[in-house]
Amino acid sequence: MSRSARIRLFWAAAVVFAVVYGFACTGLPHFGTAVHPYATRAVAASLRQRTANVVSSVNFDQRALDTLGEESILFASVLGTIVLLRHARDERVGRPRAGRVLPSTRLLGLVMVPLTLLTGVYIVAHGQLSPGGGFQGGVILATGLHMAYVAADYRVLKRIRPLAVLDASDAFGAGAFAALGLAGLIAGGAYLQNVLPLGTFGQLSSGGLVPLLNAAVGVEVGSGVIVLLASFLDQAVEVRPAQNPGSGGGT
C-alpha cells in the first residue's frame, strides 16, 4: 500500500473510531462517581484476607491467575530478547574503553547503589502493606544496580552483575510463582488459592501467600530487567558488526 493511501485509510478509520468512541463515552458511568461495585467488593475481600494493600491483594490473591499470565508474558519477552540479541557469527566483540567519571559522581554512586538496592528489597517485602510490591520493587532493584554503570563504567557493572545467576533466577522466579499455586491444590482448594495462615492485619507477615508471591515476582522482575538491559548494553557497548565498523564501541 502506498504511503498516501495508508494515511487516507488511517483518517477514515480515525473518524469512525472517534465518532463511535465518543458516543460510547456518553454511556459510561460518570467520571468520579462514588458507585464502584468491583472496588467495594475487592476492598472487602482484601480486608477479609488481612492484606492492607488492596492492589496487591487483587494481583496476588483475588486474581493471582491473571498475574501468572502476566509474568509469563514478562518471562517470554525476556527470553525472546535474549534470543534476538545473541551474538551472530559475523560480529566481533570489542573491549569497551573506560570513560572519565567525576570523583563526586563516583562517590555518590558508591553511597547510592547499596541504598537503592535496600529500598528495592524494602518495597518488595512491604508489598502487602504499602504502595509497592514485586513489580515495582524488582524494577528498583534492577535500576539501582545500573547506577554502577553511570557512576563508574561498564567493566564495574559487569563485575557486580552475575549474569549467569540472574538468568537462572529469572526462570526460578517465574517457576516459583507457578509452583506456589500448587499449595492451594495440596491444601484441597483451588490453584493459586490463598491457603497460608493470614497473620495479623498490618504486620509484615500478613496476607498469607501474598508476600511469597510478591517475592517471587520481585526476583523475576529484578533479574529479568537486568538481563534485558545487559543484552541491550552489550549490543551498544561491545558488539561491533563486521560490515560497517565504527558503530558501537565506547563506554
Partner 1 sequence: MTILPFLTAGWIFLAGVYGMVTSRDIVHAVGCLAVAQSSTYVLLLTVGYRRGGIAPYFTDTPLRTRTVDPVVQALALTDVVVGATVTALLLALAIQIRKRHGTVDPDALTGLKG
Residues near partner 1, by CB under 8 A: 3, 6-7, 10, 14, 17-18, 21-22, 25-26, 28-34, 36, 38-39, 42-43, 46-47, 52-55, 57-59, 63, 66-67, 70-71, 73-74, 77-78, 80-81, 84-85, 88, 129-131, 135, 202, 221, 224, 228, 231-232, 235, 241, 243-244
To partner 1, the closest distance from the beta carbon of 49 in angstroms equals 12
Closest approach of partner 1 to the CB of residue 104, in Å: 31
If the CB atoms of residues 59 and 194 are measured against partner 1, the closer one turns out to be 59
- Cβ 93 vs Cβ 136: under 8 Å: no
Cβ of residue 111: shortest distance to partner 1, in angstroms? 28
Kind of pairing between the strands at 239-241 and 91-93: antiparallel
Residue 188 Cβ, how far from partner 1 at the closest point, in Å? Answer: 27
CB half-sphere exposure, 87, CA atoms < 13 A: 16
- Using CA atoms, how far apart are residues 73 and 162, in angstroms rounded to an integer? 24
Residue 196 buriedness (CB in 10 A; 0-12 / 13-18 / 19+): middle
Closest distance between partner 1 and the C-beta of residue 101, in Å?
Answer: 27
State whether the Cα torsion 31-32-36-39 is positive or negative. Answer: positive
Min dist. Cβ of residue 121 to partner 1 (A)? 18
Pick 138 or 181: Cβ nearer partner 1 = 138
Identity of the residue, 37 or 103, whose beta carbon is nearer to partner 1 in the bound complex: 37
Which of 55, 101 has the CB closer to partner 1? 55
Contact present, 195 and 183 (Cβ < 8 Å): yes
User: For residues 17 and 191, which CB has a smaller minimum distance to partner 1 in the complex?
Assistant: 17
CA–CA separation, 54 and 46 (whole Å)? 6
Whose Cβ is closer to partner 1: residue 87's or residue 159's?
87
Longest dimension (CA), the chain: 64
Coil, strand or helix at 129: coil
Rounded to 5°, angle at Cα 208 from 203 and 211: 70
